[in-house]
Structure 1
Amino acid sequence: MAPPGDPRRLCRLVQEGRLCALQEELQAIGGYQGPAGDTLLHYAARHGRRDILVYLVEAWGMDIEATNRDYKRPLHEAASMGHPDCVRYLLDRGAAVDCLKKADWTPLMMACTRNKLEVIQDLVEHGADPLLKNKDGWNSFHIASREGDPLILQYLLTVCPDVWKTESKIRRTPLHTAAMHGCLEAVKVILQRCQYEPDCKDNCGVTPFMDAIQSGHMDIARLLLEKHKACSWAKDSLGAQALHRAAVTGQDAAIRFLVSDLGIDVNVRATSTHLTALHCAAKEGHTSTVQTLLSIGADINSKDERNRSGIECKPHVCFYIKHRAWRLGV
C-alpha cells in the first residue's frame, strides 16, 4: 500500500471500509481528488461505504453534488452499483435526484442497469422522472428492458403507465431491445402491458422479430409470432428479410426454423441488392451456415445485382461451395 498521506492510500482505505484509519490520515492531507476527478465521496458511494459517506459529509462538509470529469455525482455512483443505503443517505441529504452525468444519464437510468428494485423505488419515491431520456433517446424503461428484469418493468409501468411510449433516436423501442438481448420474461411483460404495433420498425427497418431471429433467440421469435402476430417475411429498409439477417449473423437454427417451419423461400432475394441468404452467409464467411442453406435447397447459381453467385463472394467459402456443388452433381 502507498505510504501514509498518499492520496492513493486514502482511496484504498475508503474501498476497504477502514473508517478509523481514514479519519487519522485524512487529517494529514485534508481531502482528495483522483485522476478522473473523483472525490472520496465518489469512492465511498461506489463501494457502498455508507459510514464513510456519512463521515465525509458531516465531519468534513464534502459536497454531495461534486462531479468528476464525466459529471458523475456520488448519487450516480451509488445508484449504478446498487447500494440502497448510500442512495437513501444522499437523497435524504438533498442530493439532486435527476442530476445528469455525461451523455445525459440520470441516477435512475444507472440504477436500471443493475436490476436493484429497491434502489429504483427509492429514486422514484424521491421524484426521479422515468420519462427523461439520455443522449441516445433511451429512457429508464428502455434501459430496464435491456437488462430484462420483469419486476422492474412492472414497477416502472405501474408508477408511470406511459413510460413504454418511447423510441430511441434511431426509433428503436424497448421491445426491440428486449428481443435483441434475449430477455424472454421482459418481452412477455411488454407484450402484455404495452401497445406496440406489430412489426414496428427502427430507422433501418428492423422489427423486433428480426432482432430476435438474427440474435438466435428462438423462444422470443416464436412468442412474437404467436402473441404479437409478427410478420416473418417483413422487409427492412434494404429489402432484406429475417432470413437474410439470420444468414449474416450465422444463425443456423433460425434459418431452419424460418424455412422448414414457417415456409420462407430459402432463395428469396433482398429487393434492393438481389442477395439471397446464401450470398449473405458466404460474404460473412459462415461456412456452417452455407452448409445449412445448401442442405435445405439454396441455389448456388443464384446471382446478385453484380451478377455474382455465392461461390464468388468469399475465397475459403467459395472452395466449400464448389466442393458441395460437385458432390451434389450441380
Structure 2
Amino acid sequence: MQQIEIVHPVLNRTLRLEALFEKLEYSLHDQQRLAGLCFYRGRYLAQMGRYDDALDAFETAANWFQFRSATQMKSCLHYILNLASKLGKRRVLAKWQGWCDGLGLDLDSPDADLSVSRDFPELFPEAQPADNADPLSNYLLIMPEWEERKPDLRNPNRVIKGYGPTPTPQLSLFANLGQVEKVRQLLRAGADPDALDRNNGSALLNALQGHDDACVRALLPVTSTDTINAKTKGGKSLLLMAISLGSSDYVQRLLEKGADVEVTGPNQQTALYETVSHFVDPMTMARAALQHGSGPEMPAFLRKTSSPFHDEEARARSATRYHPDELAVLPEMAEHFSKGDCTDLRKIVQLLLDAGANVNAPAGSSRLTPFLYAAEIGNSWLLQTLVDHGADVRSQDERGGTAFSRLHYFGHSHLVSEFLSWLPPEDRIWLRENGFR
C-alpha cells in the first residue's frame, strides 16, 4: 500500500513561501531587484519570529542599497538597528551606526524590544517561538504587590527582578518606594548602599527618583563619594537628579559630600547648564512641546514611531493632533522639566558657582554655555549673576551668535540696554560691532 504523507496546511503554506523566495532569488540573480526581494524577505522572516535570519536579509539588502538608493537604504537601516540592538549584536550595530553617522542621521532608539514589537506586532501563526513578551510590561508595575513585599534580611544585598526593566538590589527598590523603615532594616542587616544595579543606578539615586526625603536622609550619610559621582548608563547622576527636582537642600548636601560640580549629563550638559535650563518658563516649554515634541526625555512607550531616527520621531510628534484634554496637562508635564525662576533655583545657581562651576563650559555639539543659554531664556537676574562670575561676554555659539544677538533673536530686546550697562566700554563696542552675523 502506498503511504500518503499528510502535511499540515499551515506548514504547507510556509514551505510554499520558502520555495517561492528561492525561485525568485534564482531568477533575479545579479539583478538590482534582488535587493528589494531581500528587504521583503527580511520582513517575512521577522514575522516568522526568525529575527537572526531577518537581520541577515536586511543587511544583504542594505549592502546593495548603500550606494544606490538613500530611501531604501534608510528603510533597511530602520530594521537593522532595531533588530541588532534587540539581539545584542554589537558589531553589527556599531557597523551600521557608523553608516548613520556618515549619513548625518541622528539616532535615538531607547527601547529595542519595544521598537521590534511595534514593527512586527502580530507574528504569523506558524512563527517560530520568539521572545514575544509584551515589552510594555517593563513600564507597568502593580505597586500594591511591591509595597507589601517584605525585605529579605538574610540576604540584604539580594537583587530583585521585575521591578522595572533592570534587576534591582532590594535596598534600591524600597528606597524608590519610599519605605524608609525597610531601608533602615536592610542597612542594619549589612546591605551595601554603594551596590549599583546593571544600569549603574544606586539606592540613593532611586530614593531621589522616588522623591522620598526620609530615604534620602537615611542613605546620604552612608553613600560613598564614588557612588555619589557615579553616572547611570543613560547619563543620570545624583547631582543632576537633585537639580531636576529643584531641591537646593539636596544639592547643598551632595556638594558637601563631594559631588563633582562639573559632572555632565547625557547631552554633555554641566550641572550649571542643567540648572540654567530650568529657568525656562513652563508655559514656554509646553508650547515648544506642541510644536516639536518632548525630545529624548519622552518615555519610549509614549513615542509615536518605532523609528530609530530622531528626526522621524520629531516629525511624527509635530504631526500629532492633540485632544483638548491632553493639552490641558501639558503645563503640568512641562513643570517636570522646567521650574521657572524661583528661590530654590537661584540658590542652586549660587551653590554651584560657589563650588567653582565653570560658567563658560560648552554643552555638546551646540557649544552653548550656561551664559549663552541664559541669554536665550532672557532672565535678567541669571544673566547678571553669570556675568559677575566671569562669563565670557564675547563668547559665541556654533553659528557665531553672541549673548547680544541671542537676546534680540529670542525676543528679549528690552533687556539689551540693561545687559550692556553691566559691561566695560570695550566689550559694549565689540558686541555692537560683532553682535549680528
2:227 alignment partner, SS class: coil
Pick closer, same or farther for the CA change 1:243–1:232 going to 2, 3 Å.
same
Equivalent residues of 1:243, 1:258 under 8 A apart: yes
1:175 alignment partner, SS class: helix
Select the structure with the greater relative contact order (CA < 8 A; seq sep ≥ 6).
2
Paired position in structure 2 for 1:229: 356
RMSD: 3.9
Q: Give matches, 1:1-330, under 5 Å.
A: 69-70=137-138, 77=144, 83=147, 86-88=148-150, 91=152, 98-104=160-166, 106=168, 108-122=171-185, 124=187, 130=193, 131-133=195-197, 135=199, 137-146=200-209, 151-161=214-224, 162-193=226-257, 195-216=258-279, 217-226=345-354, 228-238=355-365, 239-259=367-387, 261-270=388-397, 272-280=398-406, 286-287=410-411, 289-297=412-420, 299=431, 302=434, 307=437
Q: 1:143 offset after TM fit, Å?
A: 3.2
Equivalent residues of 2:395, 2:402 under 8 A apart: yes
How big is each residue's C-alpha offset from its partner over 1:69-96, in whole Å with a ceiling of 9 and x where there is no partner?
A: 338776x6455xxx5xx233x7589997
CA distance in 2, matches of 1:189, 1:141: 13
| Structure 1 residues not aligned, in runs of 5+ | 1-67, 308-330
Pick closer, same or farther for the CA change 1:93–1:151 going to 2, 3 Å.
closer
CA distance in 2, matches of 1:102, 1:148: 17
CA distance in 2, matches of 1:126, 1:71: 30
Pick closer, same or farther for the CA change 1:291–1:170 going to 2, 3 Å.
farther
CA distance in 2, matches of 1:101, 1:125: 23
Pick closer, same or farther for the CA change 1:192–1:269 going to 2, 3 Å.
same
Identity, % of aligned pairs? 19
Paired position in structure 2 for 1:321: none
Q: 1:220 offset after TM fit, Å?
A: 0.9
CA distance in 2, matches of 1:280, 1:139: 39
Amino acid at match of 1:232: V
**TM superposition score normalised by structure 2:** 0.42
CA distance in 2, matches of 1:73, 1:168: 21
How big is each residue's C-alpha offset from its partner over 1:101-121, in whole Å with a ceiling of 9 and x where there is no partner?
A: 332163544543454422433
Q: 1:258 offset after TM fit, Å?
A: 1.6
How big is each residue's C-alpha offset from its partner over 1:199-230, in whole Å with a ceiling of 9 and x where there is no partner?
A: 2333533221222223231101111222x222
Equivalent residues of 2:404, 2:435 under 8 A apart: no
The alignment covers a number of residue pairs equal to 223
CA distance in 2, matches of 1:73, 1:127: 27
How big is each residue's C-alpha offset from its partner over 1:119-142, in whole Å with a ceiling of 9 and x where there is no partner?
A: 43345556766423354x433222
2:219 alignment partner, SS class: helix
Pick closer, same or farther for the CA change 1:94–1:294 going to 2, 3 Å.
same
Amino acid at match of 1:69: S
Pick closer, same or farther for the CA change 1:180–1:250 going to 2, 3 Å.
farther
Paired position in structure 1 for 2:113: none
Equivalent residues of 2:163, 2:173 under 8 A apart: no
CA distance in 2, matches of 1:180, 1:276: 27
Q: 1:160 offset after TM fit, Å?
A: 4.4
Amino acid at match of 1:132: L
Q: 1:174 offset after TM fit, Å?
A: 1.1
**TM superposition score normalised by structure 1:** 0.53
| Structure 2 residues not aligned, in runs of 5+ | 1-135, 280-344, 421-427
Equivalent residues of 2:153, 2:186 under 8 A apart: no
Q: 1:157 offset after TM fit, Å?
A: 4.0
Q: 1:99 offset after TM fit, Å?
A: 2.5
Equivalent residues of 1:224, 1:230 under 8 A apart: yes
How big is each residue's C-alpha offset from its partner over 1:164-219, in whole Å with a ceiling of 9 and x where there is no partner?
A: 241122544211221233211111221122x3444233353322122222323110
Pick closer, same or farther for the CA change 1:243–1:160 going to 2, 3 Å.
closer
